Amino acid sequence: MTSRRLFDKIQGITISHVTKTYGSIYAVRDVSLDVIGGELLVLIGPSGSGKTTTLRMVNRLIEPDEGSISIDGQDIRGHDPVTLRRNMGYVIQQIGLFPHMSVRENIGLIPRLEGWTRDDINARVDELLSLVALPPEVFSGRYPQELSGGQQQRVGLARALAMDPPILLMDEPFGALDPILRMQLQDEFAKIKEELGKTILFVTHDIEESFKLGDRIAIMRDASLDQVGTAYELIFHPESAFVADIVDANKKYKHVDTMCVGDVAYALDDDHLLDGRMDSKDALSSMHEHDIEVALAVEGGEIIGLVNALSLYRDAQGRLRDHAFEPLIFDANDSLPAALSEMKAHGIPMAVVTSRDGQPTGIISMNETLLRLV
Amino acid sequence: MVPVDTLTNATIQHLTLTYGALFFSVVTAIPLAILSLFSKRLSNAVLTLANLLQAIPSFAVVAIVVPLLGIGFTPAVIAIVVRALLPIIKNTYIGLKDIDASAVSSARGLGLTEWQIIRYIRLPHSYPAMFAGMKFAAILANSIAILTAIIGSGGLGSVIFSGLSNLNTDKIIAGSLPTIGIAIFIDVSFTLLERVITPRTHS
């Protein structure tokens, strides 16, 4: 039996008002959630909050009582469950490798059931083992019992990727590993994730893990969805005390590792752009008028440099361009700690933040950033 | 002395009885064990009945078929099957059931059909237990096939019983030795078979 390939790269998964009850208990209650194609969306919450149930409804291991789930606008109930699952990878915390099959047979089982040739299967297994950093010549003949926990979970991931599914469902995949190994696998997975470009739904109860891996995070509580957003949105704009508590919003500095420059930059508007040829005094009064501390001196669309209200105030002579200092420039997606340490190394407390096409979009101030983190 | 062809015929009859009954036990027990996976009610019924049958002394089972089915080869086969079913059903069921639940749920999540889960995951996992059950059933069948001589099944049992009734030592030995030999053969052959068929879990 060969299963139809249902989708290559998906636009998105739409979970719409799904409810699942067991007896009188709600496992999931009216949850609506959009997973954007290509993103890793984390479902996080305490145990019993409904995150695993939500995940398992996407591959029809659990059928919702109410509501619907669709992929690229097609209701998943229109697909045969087996075909649907072969178009999605599935990784669970307990891994569930087949004990009587070698690593090669474990990974190659679904391709074999799909009627691949032995050569194709072997080539695919070797490729996947290399991807998860297990040399095929060493590991393909081993049995699950002969692998460490971390190695088993790598095989579990390789097995889920066998059919190159556009969607991956991962249920606390690193939850059973010791903390050091977990961090290592998270780092490896973060890299693999970039290579794969898959749409991933990822369940965890570890907030650090969700900040590290998630493009967006959905927080669940008592079978319902509390808030969905980026790490930055959840930390700086938690909508409830529960969310603030989960993301540890009062200790934002803890999350500095996972933040990027764009998260803490001030947006630039026209008031911040001053012509470098204007008189320093005029520039200073303009800045006072708009109550801004830092501005960008520009000439003909070119950034001349940053100017600081305080230094202008001390010595408002000549043209603005004479007071401009060459700024550091960061991309909005650059890592925040790296940017902060570079600013510190250069002794420059301000930097310009640009979008991908090089347009200045914001200013980042070291002091302000540190103040916002505590 | 017992004539060679008498003994040969008795041995062939005994082997037919033992392996015939074993064959019917296996083809009944394994599907029942697999079906029991799908229904709690069926598994309860099957296992309770099989346990109950196991508790009845072999001799009583052999005796009770006479008023129900008469005497001869076929009633003897049925008596043996009744006794040999349980170890196969019970062991196969346990082997199928007693698999790491995460292996089954990951198999389902990866897109194996329920039948493929049985075929590729549960059955291979159950082989050691299943073969242990089959070996035990074969040894049971071999012993009961002696008893069924009383209800006219023929075979080595007839030689033994006739030797016992006349205190004919030659006959007793001529009937007993092949039975012992067959028992040893069963044990060794099933152990080898199990070793060949059971999937490896170590490289």
Instruction: Note the pLDDT tens digit of each residue in A259-305.
Output: 888 887 877 777 888 888 888 888 888 888 887 777 888 887 778 88
Q: CB–CB of A213/A42 below 8 Å?
A: yes
Can you give the pLDDT at residue A374? 64
Residue B202 lies in a domain: no
Q: Is A318 exposed, middle or buried (0-12, 13-18, 19+ CB in 10 A)?
A: exposed
Can you give the pLDDT at residue B1? 67
Q: Which residue in this structure is represented by tokens 């041995």?
A: B11
**What average pLDDT does range B9-36 have in this prediction?**
94
Question: What residues of chain B lie within 8 A of the CB of A90, using their CB?
Answer: 106, 109-110
Residue B39 lies in a domain: yes
Query: Which tokens go with B12?
Result: 């062939």
Q: First-to-last CA distance in chain A?
A: 58
Residue B203 lies in a domain: no
The DSSP bridge pattern shows strands A266-267 and A273-275 to be: unpaired
B203 → closest Cβ in A83, A98, A146: A146
Taking the CA of residue B113 and the nearest CA in chain A, the distance in Å comes to 6
Taking the CA of residue B101 and the nearest CA in chain A, the distance in Å comes to 8
**pLDDT, tens only, A313-337:** 777 778 888 888 888 888 888 888 8
B110 → closest Cβ in A110, A144, A146: A110
A113 → closest Cβ in B103, B104, B116: B116
Can you give the pLDDT at residue A117? 95
Question: What residues of chain B lie within 8 A of the CB of A115, using their CB?
Answer: none
pTM across the whole model: 0.76
Closest chain B residue to A82 measured between Cα atoms? B111
Can you give the pLDDT at residue A266? 78
**Contact at CB, B124 and A156, closer than 8 angstroms:** no
Question: What residues of chain A lie within 8 A of the CB of B105, using their CB?
Answer: 61, 92, 96
Residue A98 has pLDDT above 90, yes or no: yes
Find the domain containing B132 and state its range: 4-197
Residue B11 lies in a domain: yes
Can you give the pLDDT at residue A1? 52
The CATH number linked to B76 is 1.10.3720.10
Interface of B with A (CB under 8 A): 100-113, 116, 120-121, 124-125, 199-203
Residue A66 has pLDDT above 80, yes or no: yes
A102 → closest Cβ in B103, B104, B203: B203
**What average pLDDT does range A138-165 have in this prediction?**
93
Q: What percent of chain A has pLDDT over 90?
A: 48
Taking the CA of residue B203 and the nearest CA in chain A, the distance in Å comes to 6
| Reported ipTM | 0.81
Taking the CA of residue A272 and the nearest CA in chain B, the distance in Å comes to 54
Question: What residues of chain B lie within 8 A of the CB of A143, using their CB?
Answer: 200-203
- The size of the A-B interface in CB pairs under 8 A is 80
**What average pLDDT does range A19-40 have in this prediction?**
94
Question: What residues of chain A lie within 8 A of the CB of B108, using their CB?
Answer: 61, 85
Q: A303 forms bridges with which residues in the sheet?
A: A298
Can you give the pLDDT at residue A157? 93
Can you give the pLDDT at residue A357? 77
**pLDDT, tens only, B28-86:** 999 999 999 998 999 999 888 878 887 888 889 888 899 999 898 999 999 999 889 88
Phi, psi (rounded to 5 degrees) for A205: -120, 10
The DSSP bridge pattern shows strands A360-365 and A266-267 to be: antiparallel
The DSSP bridge pattern shows strands A66-71 and A12-22 to be: antiparallel
**pLDDT, tens only, B168-189:** 999 999 999 999 999 999 999 9
Query: Which tokens go with A59?
Result: 């591959």
Phi, psi (rounded to 5 degrees) for B58: -55, -40
Average pLDDT, chain A: 88
**pLDDT, tens only, B79-127:** 999 889 889 999 999 999 999 999 999 999 999 999 999 999 999 999 9
**Contact at CB, A160 and B199, closer than 8 angstroms:** no
Can you give the pLDDT at residue A155? 95
Taking the CA of residue B85 and the nearest CA in chain A, the distance in Å comes to 27
A96 → closest Cβ in B100, B201, B203: B100
Domain boundaries, chain A: 12-259, 263-373
Length of chain B counted residue by residue? 203
**Contact at CB, A110 and B112, closer than 8 angstroms:** yes
**Contact at CB, B111 and A86, closer than 8 angstroms:** yes
**Contact at CB, B106 and A113, closer than 8 angstroms:** no
What is the pLDDT confidence band of residue B143, given thresholds at 50, 70 and 90? very high
Can you give the pLDDT at residue A138? 93
Domain count, chain B: 1
Question: What residues of chain B lie within 8 A of the CB of A59, using their CB?
Answer: 109
Q: CB–CB of A208/A217 below 8 Å?
A: no
Residue A343 has pLDDT above 70, yes or no: yes
Render the burial of A262-294: b for 16+ CB within 10 Å, e for the rest.
bbbbbebeeebebebeeebeebbebbeeeebeb
Query: Which tokens go with A35?
Result: 């997973």
Can you give the pLDDT at residue A354? 84
Taking the CA of residue A140 and the nearest CA in chain B, the distance in Å comes to 10
Which site among A56, A57, A59, A100 would you substitute to test the B interface, given the most B Cβ atoms closer than 10 Å to its Cβ?
Answer: A100
What is the pLDDT confidence band of residue A159, given thresholds at 50, 70 and 90? very high
Question: What residues of chain A lie within 8 A of the CB of B102, using their CB?
Answer: 92, 94-96
How many CB atoms neighbour CB B160 within 10 A? 21
CATH number of A263-373: 3.10.580.10
Instruction: State the virtual CA torsion across A292, A298, A301, A304 in degrees, nearest 10.
Output: -130
The CATH superfamily assigned to A12-259 is P-loop containing nucleotide triphosphate hydrolases (3.40.50.300)
> Which amino acid is it at A156?
G
Taking the CA of residue B27 and the nearest CA in chain A, the distance in Å comes to 24
B199 → closest Cβ in A90, A95, A100: A100
Q: CB–CB of A86/A2 below 8 Å?
A: no
Cβ partners under 8 Å of residue B71, min gap 6: B151, B152
Residue A192 sits at the vertex; the CA angle it makes with A99 and A180, to the nearest 5 degrees, is 70
Question: What residues of chain B lie within 8 A of the CB of A160, using their CB?
Answer: 110
Closest chain A residue to B198 measured between Cα atoms? A100
Taking the CA of residue B102 and the nearest CA in chain A, the distance in Å comes to 4
Can you give the pLDDT at residue A356? 76
Can you give the pLDDT at residue A287? 83
A34, A172, A310 from A42: Cα distances, Å: 12, 10, 44
Rounded CA-CA distance A193/A38 in Å is 10
Can you give the pLDDT at residue A250? 67
**Contact at CB, A109 and B120, closer than 8 angstroms:** yes
Closest chain B residue to A80 measured between Cα atoms? B111
**pLDDT, tens only, A102-151:** 999 999 999 999 999 999 999 999 999 998 889 999 999 999 999 998 89
- The secondary element (H helix, E strand) that includes residue B187 is helix B169-197
Taking the CA of residue B76 and the nearest CA in chain A, the distance in Å comes to 39
- Helix ranges restricted to H, B56-168: 58-69, 73-97, 101-110, 114-116, 123-147, 156-166
Give Cα A35 distance to the centre of its chain.
Answer: 12
- Helix ranges restricted to H, A222-365: 231-236, 241-246, 261-264, 280-289, 309-314, 336-346
A82 → closest Cβ in B104, B113, B199: B113
Residue B190 lies in a domain: yes
